[in-house]
Structure 1
């Protein structure tokens, strides 16, 4: 038997060519119109921000109860004649807000508050239409990326729920003989909270669609888990503060005590538990509600400093910048909060305070995203 080389094929068959790995397999799944979908989401994002601002102005001008019925379809048409206007005004005269607070109103005054509420509801219809046209258009064109159909459907579903919650909120103030002159504060907080949830989902999806799937999968391996967890906690804490702010706005608690850092010259406001039952003080006692909002703001600032210091230690420059932006927005929001109190919450400052909450919310989301999906930079980029 002759000697054989250890490198010789032992099968006796002709050597076969090995299959070659082909990169980019992830992106050969249905990529979809990621850029176009992202632009559509950006339009929705801007509309939801506008909705939050218009909703805040509707609340600050006490216009939210001017339309006493919920007509999702026919309500899109405003009154077109003086008789129609008078009919709407007569319906408004039947509720407690007019009877207790606004008997001085003439038809011209009613028209001013009516247009605010009508505009708020109309903007909601526009948002629903923009979502439906975009979603159905991309779906019919088969341009939605793999595993994105449910995600893109979610804002529309939540928007429908938001419309129902909006009427549930208004219905709490459209009363006769119950002494209600505004909507229930906890319903207002639910309405605003869901608006921020919808905005958060839209922003998160825009961040994800800004990069290819292969980039996200690679970036996820460098995830800064501790920083991601801290930013998630900060996101939840800021959401709680937003809800507390809505409770303050719902009962005009921001105008009840206008000194700072004390309240009526003391740490605790006078008679913080004067209402019965006891639990109602946490929703309806202006002094206690404002006090809780203040204390929560101080704690949020302290936690924000901890997260910022941790974020400064990130290995990624863009992540560090994102956490610097969060800290700057948080400080500005605290200053605006104090100014809002000192000037008894005029609508100009109050709406700026609410808009800054939107900015802070999105910046925290951005920092959280970059913690979970860091963007690597080369040495020459430093």
Structure 2
């Protein structure tokens, strides 16, 4: 610096005196110039706000806080640490065989499987109502997939049926053509069951092998697959009860055991519910993770103490509906719907006489210790009365719960709209089911109405399950939502992004540098002259 001082002195002596004079202020008579108007485009403010950094503009010109190099370095280090942590988390997740969230196609497949089970339940009811269930007297899971293909095969199957109690006591005059009709009903029911099993097991293996399901969901799929296979065994166990030699005794009625029929029906309902519930749970998890902030608010609203009674009531309602359906299975197994075909009375009163309800005829022990439960499960009169009581209780409980959500101010204020619609749908379904049940009883169990009544029972359970899936608080999904929110917060994507102190991207840097050059050029030209 000392060496350059003589050169500066020599250069200063050669400069003009006007170079050091500000003519703008030396002439007081000169009018005040107009304010500087920079021909900057209107989108410069948006560029500064969204694409540029405060470090690119001095504080005296833009009013922005200047980004120091040390601060930018610290932000870069924190950003790199977050990215490395997320990369390590993804690497750990990739090392695991099962993903954390089951994919959506699995949910759609489960719902489709549930629809198939719904259909086979209705078709099974038609098979029972047409008395076709005992037409096939053998159980061949593999070779029985094909029906008889020749006349000799048909004669062989017909000979086996003619040796059964049902043919000798109920259908002694049945022809081969009539036998073919009931045979095809039972064969179709069994074939549908095989298709349900294959359409579930094969895709389940594929989804697990392709890592499309979570660990807990894979265990659930295994349980459902086992239940489907066990259901086939229960079906043959039920049919076998109607082929016993004891049914040849005088006064016997060839029919399957009402216990085994109810077990077969309950297994089908459980299988259907499991498919439906898990399919809805997967879709709900994806819906919650799509908007974690909104999902967290929704789950907090559901966990409110004001909705605690409602959530518990929905769970109890599902158990009540299932129990009512099982009592209907006992009615179907005993043909109890063929007596007392009036409603609400049963004979001369609301209930049959006490001696008829608690008859000693059904007791098998000398001390009568089994009198009460055998009458409840084997006496057609008491079984029908039990079903009436259960149905009335279910109907009253649903209407009461709907009134609770409708007229309780606290519940009405906080209950989500989806739950409100689900509750109203359950009310509509129970009204329809009550109408079908009374019609089935009054018109002596006609096949179309009775089949619709069985389908209505499964539809009512479906409505309650859907309502339960909307009110249920999934702890695992809540943890996933909280983790997703934490990741978004750490990455700065959870809310509006602040512009101050943010390290600019490449585009922001280029635009900021260009804008600064333009401002410097305008300053060097000075203010515009008046015309």
- CA distance in structure 1 between the partners assigned to 2:185 and 2:403 by the alignment: 43
- CA distance in structure 1 between the partners assigned to 2:74 and 2:184 by the alignment: 81
CA RMSD after TM alignment: 2.6
Matched ranges for 1:151-166 at <5 A: 151-166=220-235
Partner residue, 1:226: 309
Is residue 335 of structure 1 aligned with residue 430 of structure 2? no
- CA distance in structure 1 between the partners assigned to 2:176 and 2:190 by the alignment: 21
- CA distance in structure 2 between the partners assigned to 1:52 and 1:210 by the alignment: 25
- CA distance in structure 2 between the partners assigned to 1:345 and 1:307 by the alignment: 31
Is residue 292 of structure 1 aligned with residue 391 of structure 2? no
- CA distance in structure 1 between the partners assigned to 2:456 and 2:189 by the alignment: 20
Partner residue, 1:365: 465
List per-residue Cα deviations over 1:294-314 (Å, max 9, x = no partner).
011111112112222233335
Is residue 60 of structure 1 aligned with residue 129 of structure 2? yes
| Uncovered stretches (5+) of structure 1, i.e. residues with no partner | 1-13, 375-382
Partner residue, 2:49: none
Change (3 A) 1:311 1:146: farther
Partner residue, 1:8: none
- CA distance in structure 1 between the partners assigned to 2:220 and 2:375 by the alignment: 39
> Displacement, 1:276?
2.4
Is residue 172 of structure 1 aligned with residue 241 of structure 2? yes
Contact 1:172–1:183 at 8 Å: present in 2 too? Answer: yes
Match of 1:103, SS state, is coil
How many residues end up aligned between the 2 structures?
A: 362
Change (3 A) 1:33 1:301: closer
Contact 1:183–1:250 at 8 Å: present in 2 too? Answer: yes
> Does 172-181 or 257-266 show the bigger shift?
172-181
Contact 2:135–2:179 at 8 Å: present in 1 too? Answer: yes
List per-residue Cα deviations over 1:242-295 (Å, max 9, x = no partner).
000011111111121111110123222252233321343223322211111001
Contact 1:322–1:366 at 8 Å: present in 2 too? Answer: yes
- CA distance in structure 1 between the partners assigned to 2:267 and 2:155 by the alignment: 34
- CA distance in structure 1 between the partners assigned to 2:112 and 2:194 by the alignment: 14
The equivalent position to 1:307 in structure 2, one of 401, 404, 407, is 401
Matched ranges for 1:60-99 at <5 A: 60-99=129-168
> Displacement, 1:349?
0.5
- CA distance in structure 1 between the partners assigned to 2:253 and 2:374 by the alignment: 15
Partner residue, 1:276: 362
- CA distance in structure 1 between the partners assigned to 2:216 and 2:265 by the alignment: 29
Matched ranges for 1:61-210 at <5 A: 61-178=130-247, 179-210=252-283
TM-score, structure 2 as length reference: 0.64
Partner residue, 1:250: 333
Partner residue, 1:7: none
Change (3 A) 1:295 1:214: closer
> Displacement, 1:140?
2.1
List per-residue Cα deviations over 1:204-228 (Å, max 9, x = no partner).
1111111336827835443343222
- CA distance in structure 1 between the partners assigned to 2:418 and 2:287 by the alignment: 19
Is residue 355 of structure 1 aligned with residue 438 of structure 2? no
Match of 1:147, SS state, is helix
> Displacement, 1:15?
7.1
- CA distance in structure 2 between the partners assigned to 1:163 and 1:211 by the alignment: 31
Contact 2:102–2:217 at 8 Å: present in 1 too? Answer: no
Contact 2:134–2:239 at 8 Å: present in 1 too? Answer: yes
- CA distance in structure 2 between the partners assigned to 1:109 and 1:280 by the alignment: 37
Contact 2:102–2:282 at 8 Å: present in 1 too? Answer: no
Match of 1:63, SS state, is coil
Structure number with greater CO (CA < 8 Å, separation at least 6) is 2
TM-score, structure 1 as length reference: 0.88
- CA distance in structure 2 between the partners assigned to 1:113 and 1:59 by the alignment: 10
